[in-house]
Amino acid sequence: MLCSRLSQADLDQLTHGARILEADSHGAKVYLLGDGNILKVFRRKRLISSALLRPYSQRFVDNATRLEHLGIPTLKVISHHKLQQPGRTAVLYRPLPGETLSQRSGQPGFSWDPLLPALIDLIRHLHAAGVYFRSLHLGNVVVTPDQRLGLIDIADMRFLRAPLSARMARRNVQHLANYLEREGLDSHFPLARLQAGVLQR
């Protein structure tokens, strides 16, 4: 997908009336537009970095395409833009419909039993395909309306030429374990069952 220029005037018009979902000290990072689509803004953090050659937004676009080729539901990229402000790019995309596992798990009467096998299968599929998803956690896995599991927030992802080694697979699952501990969910999630299912060879 080509990266086209988006002027400040066009950016202002596109985001007029939008809801800011995420921001930092440098400004808005994620906009929810009136039509339900999302505009995600990427900022190059260092003057000299690999992002000069391959911006983070390009990785985001490429990752969406590669996940689609693997048959994993994810967001649908609409357009990719270079912004007027130096070092900034943006991706306009249609979000993946559904609820995150984090949202689902907070509902009354929720049980992990029906969803855990599908989550194990998803992670094993990623690992077998050589995908190392650093942001693997319950807030980035979506249950779609047709009850499939898909991924969002996909910028921080590596695609290797071979399946993940046992060491990398364990490290990837540890990202999820660290998230559960940070969020105080470790006592509610069947982590031992997931580890046994994902890491078995």
Band (pLDDT 50/70/90 cuts) for residue 141 is very high
Q: Is the pLDDT of residue 41 over 80?
A: yes
Mean pLDDT of all residues in 147-167: 95
Between the two ends of the chain, the Cα-to-Cα distance in Å is: 38
147: region left, alpha or beta (phi > 0 left; psi from -120 to 50 alpha): left
List of residues 6+ apart from 193 with CB closer than 8 A = 116
Note if the pTM is more than 0.85.
yes
Tell me: pLDDT of 46 over 90.
no
Report pLDDT for 51: 46
- Average pLDDT of the chain? 93
Reply yes or no on whether the pLDDT at 1 is more than 80. Answer: no
Mean pLDDT of the region 48-64: 76
**Ramachandran angles phi, psi of 154, nearest 5°:** -100, 15
Q: Could you identify the residue written with the tokens 């990427």?
A: 42
CB atoms within 10 A of CB 189: 19
Residue 88: is its pLDDT beyond 50? yes
Lookup: tokens for 196: 């046994």
The share of the chain scoring above pLDDT 90, in percent, equals 85
Confidence of residue 49 (pLDDT cuts 50, 70, 90): very low
Q: And the tokens for 123?
A: 């992670």
All structural domains of the chain, each given as residue ranges with its CATH number in brackets, are: 3-94 (3.30.200.20), 99-199 (1.10.510.10)
Nearest to 95 by CA among 22, 144, 41, 43: 144
**Per-residue confidence at 26, pLDDT binned at 50, 70, 90?**
confident
* Residue 166 buriedness (CB in 10 A; 0-12 / 13-18 / 19+): exposed
Confidence class for position 53, pLDDT limits 50, 70, 90: low
Q: What is the pLDDT of residue 44?
A: 80
Mean pLDDT, residues 13-32: 94
- Could you tell me what percent of the chain has a pLDDT over 70? 95
> Which pLDDT belongs to residue 54?
66
A 10 A CB-CB count for 104 gives 16
**pLDDT at 62 (0 to 100):** 96
